[in-house]
Structure 1
């Protein structure tokens, strides 16, 4: 009965209204009100001096900078606000600055958004996603009915890494055509709370109320979204002259727009404002990469690159993963403990990584090198020379990145390797799963939360500086497999290994990739799945992990000189087809099936580029899917138009829009698939 009741609620909730005017929850610039306490008193706009510093018109809207000065003239709250009407987005970055010559008053309980509006629906639907904990359920969508019965607010978030517990993107659907999309730009701990209280009547037996009923009565008729730092995390004084950025926020209004169309407008917003750009301002596209374990010997890697060159392998990047650095040793098993010693292991690479770099460049590829810059091992010389640069627990040590000397050491050490070894791109890992414990060690009663805040500020500064120094190079945001997936990191990097599920034994890597792709691509349009591995994959596996790019691992133990034509030759031809799909990932993305985590349901999506009047459809038949023939309904097809349709094998035919919009597909056996490219003619 519970399941039936919930289903009825969802169906009722998602009935489209005839007019967008039936709901009141439209977020405006006037609703941008961060909340915090200063010296124990709640921030009050009326009590802080307001100044508009600037307002600039842009092609997409306007950007303004405003300030609020505290009553004691010691602290400024600075808000940089982007009102992007093209995308129905309002985005803001809050910063705090001590403009006095003494430690500031206490700042605590900081929330970047504290939005309260009139509740106009009895129930709203919260769509959020799991983060990654290296499980099959990484990034799975979680739906919650908010407002049902007397439920408390939904509270979710992450500790230490922005996407470890929950993905810092979510949506609230007021009905089928209206709602809001929200993103949190912060690469560490955060919390969000969504509440909605509206009932037709509040009647209590005998007129008495218990505590729970009293709280509910006080919230009656109210809807709210609150997000920022976790409760109790921040309680600090700023040093004289200190300025810190706090979690950024965007809110996108979905007004008389379907969920699918709103998610695609969000993707376009992300491409425009939160995708890494090169020095020309162009989007750095998600690459196709081949990854080598960093401890594979120089001669072996050079031989494989030579084969890729011979067979004109259409990839973008060759990368060396962990294991390349440290003391000279043939089979380094201590890569974990030697992290932080950024020296090439000459036993593995007698001519340095530069030999690999030069070979990759000669073959037409970029190369990328792994670093885990924020952690150091106990066997690293820098740890012994400058223990004051680090904070640890006896096993794990993290660099105090906000300390100028530690920052300079790390920047110089990494830049030296990148320069000397002719490295194109940077792969960044972060395997400290509980950084909060280390940040807490640095706190005092006057600096609670500041170690974490300063570290994240320094991280953004470091990435901006090292990218600017190297032609805005691509940075791979690994972070132990997808644990820092937020829009601030998306502005500076692309996650090329979005989950470590691909590193462990799971029953079906392909379904894991499909789940990750369908959930992430709606929010984070640039990400790549790991495909295991070079010698044992087919088109089905690659299609499962392909997102415009992918990372193909190279297993040394499966390599052989006897099957080059079979492995390299065929793979090269297959990858050329993937390039064609990849071009379309920068348009609109439509999942064709729901419940992607259900292995009995097919996996499929549509890519549609309305500007070029073309797109493609990809459908995969999973092992447990019983249907052999399915019908799909591609979106945005003009029923009266004619389309040229080409299948995976090059067969071309003409279809009417009516036929294409209601298309029957045959999937006769497990792991069979259909790829159709279409173009309006």
Structure 2
């Protein structure tokens, strides 16, 4: 029997079979560490000890990590039949032999992490099941046995918010956290308080990211929880009356349904990863590496995708719905001859057939648009406009391939616009669920929801898109999901099913939709093994780990304007370029969780920060990441912009990185991420806790360090905002080898290489200075063995 010091107990609902099967220790007397009674009255949690030295699991009893009620009675595995059990799978059946619950689990031993999921099936051929409700895919209790007077700290982030006012007004200070997407929040709730977090509009990272790093009272260790559900989830963190126990629960927000004979649904999955170290960044970086290794898409050779650097047609002075194959081929030719290190040509919406104003005048009148055609009117067609692409889209992709570029094309499979257009026969009316009571006539025409809850519909859609992907020679399938999300459509469809069937159906449309969404992605990838799926979803609104195991977010947010800058400058909000302050804030927030993501830059002039070429470079670097898309006028490139873009993409994506031709700086984003240190300010409004000071001011330096221990290389990006104090800034680095010597190269200063001891960089820091709103970029390379 193993006995470890117990500084932090996780009262985790985890099946005993997991540990027994993987050899993680034998069961021991629960009274050794367990209290005589649980602090919470519901659920049947078990105990898992987590060692302060090795962070290993050792179960104390055989409870499970989830809870639900069946006909109002809480699930109890002791009263249900256990039909089968393996190291990864356990099946329970209710006493009436109607409902089966399958519990699957996967251990990632190199991270001491575990993923689990539950699914339900009506195994009867004639009977409807009872009501399945209060489904908590995760039901876990944390216990701090030493009774520290310190509090638990919940680290989480706002999601993709898109809450900019559209009337030119400025928000009040209580809306400060919504200024930037992915704002990090630290919340230390007191005794008896419950923190409730949720997503919105039926998408997993709309409003709140589904990732949480819970620090133990007093720090030094913690556990990261993640929710694997691309729909609407809800979670809670309840602190007991002593302040030593926290109960974490999470699951699909709304579910209370009966299953028809043979019917099945899956619930959200849960990922749990413990960590130990000096601060929460240890947990964040361990989780980034977990995501990279186990929850990132790989090709048929099991390789991660290379960084994506794309030229977008959005910079052309031609509306999307008017672009022709000739326009795009011309742009591709100029991209290839520009000397800019890009590897992809990016075509967004509007390439398909559209409805003109002559075909549907009322639609354009309702939109108050004077144009005679709009890209949004043809969403759902997915046939290249024969007038603009007489040889199909494959002609465009072929030219890109001939010139060494991949071809990216935009789709939005879950939505369909007006049926006035001659859609293919697969659109037979069964596929669309309208929501007449939930939106106006214009909304009904533009935002009809394709019924992803129906597997046969998804199969028909796959057949159509498979044909277009092959004919279009597509390398990257860009998948969007616009509008207010599918949540209201799900509710409307559930209500209809309840009326038609006479049984409870709350949540079943969502569960079926999300299950079929994974089916859709999995089948696309199986049919096109080398194809990447770009996860847009209205800009970063489906960033849960189940989605990211199949897709990558090349466009992390739709918030691209200068909203943050105008707010800080107290100026009217205007149409502008891709705001650099927002870009910096997004990188600082989202990179705490996810390594593979990015944004890019456009060619507009930023009048709020720095005008001209210096502003263009500042904006480019603000949007630099693992991926980037660049919206320039490829038909008529400004010579100075071409020169700067070639230089910047050269070190970021090309062969001109100081780290060597095999190591473009974008590869460093797969490493550990360390933001510059910041103070915290209180959050007011609907988010509770504190956030970094950089969110609401231009009086600071901002930046981050990326370090690849495996390559002994790194990257530092820093930005002096416009009213930061003058003088030299010292950025204290982390994660280096204190005994190693690093060659530090300033990207902007030829011949500036300097050798600095790792211990110095981690104590004195990396010294830098510049004036006004400016940027600095450094590479680091361990030269100790050279």
Question: What's the TM-score, normalizing by structure 1?
Answer: 0.87
Cα distance in 2 for residues equivalent to 1:131 and 1:196:
24
The Cα offsets for residues 37-80 of structure 1, whole Å up to 9 and x where unpaired, read as 1122111111112245322xxxxxxxx11111211122221122
C-alpha separation between the residues in 1 aligned to 2:618 and 2:562? 20
Structure 1 CA distance, aligned partners of 2:556 and 2:644?
27
Partner of 1:263: 284
Matched, 1:401 2:479: no
Question: Which of 397, 401, 409 is the matching residue for 1:357?
Answer: 397
Q: Which position in structure 2 is the counterpart of 1:417?
A: 468
In 1, the alpha carbon distance for the partners of 2:195 and 2:255 equals 22
CA contact (8 A) 2:433 2:448 kept: yes
Q: Which deviates more from structure 2 when the two are superposed, residues 369-378 or residues 411-420?
A: 411-420
CA positional deviation for 1:383: 8.9
Number of the residue aligned with 2:313: 292
Query: 1:593, 1:601 within 8 Å by CA — same for their partners in 2?
Result: no
Maintained 8 Å contact 2:276/2:282: no
Q: What whole-Å deviation, never above 9, does each CA across 1:81-105 have from its counterpart, x for those lacking one?
A: 1122311211112111222213222
Aligned-partner SS, 1:33: coil
Secondary structure at the aligned position of 1:603 is classed as strand
Tell me which residue corresponds to 2:67: 35
Q: Does 1:584 align with 2:668?
A: yes
Paired with 2:716 and 2:265, the residues of 1 have a C-alpha distance of 46
Secondary structure at the counterpart of residue 471 of structure 1:
coil
More displaced stretch, 489-498 vs 173-182? 173-182
- For 1:604 and 1:347, locate their aligned partners in 2 and report how far apart those are by CA, in whole Å: 48
Task: For residues 313-345 of structure 1, give each alpha carbon's deviation from its aligned partner in whole angstroms, at most 9, with x where no partner exists.
Answer: 321211110111114979873322221111111
| Counterpart for residue 303 of structure 1 | 330
Aligned to 1:539: 617
**Alignment of structure 1 residues 365-380 onto 2, 5 Å:** 365-378=405-418, 379-380=420-421
Between the aligned partners of 2:330 and 2:142, the Cα distance in structure 1 is 63
Q: Residue in 2 aligned with 1:228?
A: 251
Q: Distance in 1 between matches of 2:356 and 2:472?
A: 19
What stretches of structure 2 of length at least 5 have no aligned partner?
Answer: 16-45, 47-63, 164-178, 315-319, 358-370, 437-443, 567-578, 606-612, 654-663, 679-691
The alignment of Structure 1 onto Structure 2 pairs a total of residues equal to 628
2:506 aligned with 1:428: no
Contact 2:596 2:670 in 1 (8 A): no
Per-residue deviation, residues 427-480 of structure 1 (Å, max 9, x unmatched): 011013142211122221421110111011111001100111011411111111
Report whether the alignment pairs 1:518 with 2:588.
Answer: yes
Counterpart in 2 of 1:626? 725
- 8 Å Cα contact 1:146/1:154 also seen in 2: no
- Which moved further from structure 2: 179-188 or 377-386? 377-386
Aligned position for 2:228: 185
**Residue number in structure 1 paired with 2:99:** 75
Alignment correspondent of 1:160: 202
Conserved 8 A contact 1:383-1:390: no
Q: Post-superposition shift, 1:481?
A: 0.9
Which residue does 1:6 correspond to in 2?
A: none
Cα deviation code 1:200-231 (max 9, x no counterpart): xxxxxxxxxxxxxxxxxxxx76420011122x
Deviations 1:516-556 (A, max 9, x none): 11111111221112423389763322221122111222357
Residues 158 and 191 in structure 1, CA contact (< 8 A), matched pair in contact too:
no
Cα distance in 2 for residues equivalent to 1:312 and 1:672 = 25
Q: Select which of 670, 674, 678 maps to 2:776.
A: 674
Cα pair distance change 1:253/1:505, threshold 3 Å: closer
**Pair 391,286 (structure 1): closer, same or farther in 2 beyond 3 Å:** farther
The equivalent residue for 1:494 is 552
Q: TM-score, normalised by structure 2?
A: 0.76
Name which of 388, 396, 417 aligns with 2:430. Answer: 388
Which one of the candidate residues 380, 388, 398 is aligned to 1:348? 388
Gaps spanning 5+ residues in structure 1: where?
1-18, 56-63, 200-219
Instruction: Confirm or deny: 8 A CA contact 2:676 2:731 kept in the other structure.
Output: yes
Which residue of structure 1 lines up, in the alignment, with residue 659 of structure 2?
Answer: none
Distance 1:48 1:429, change over 3 A: same
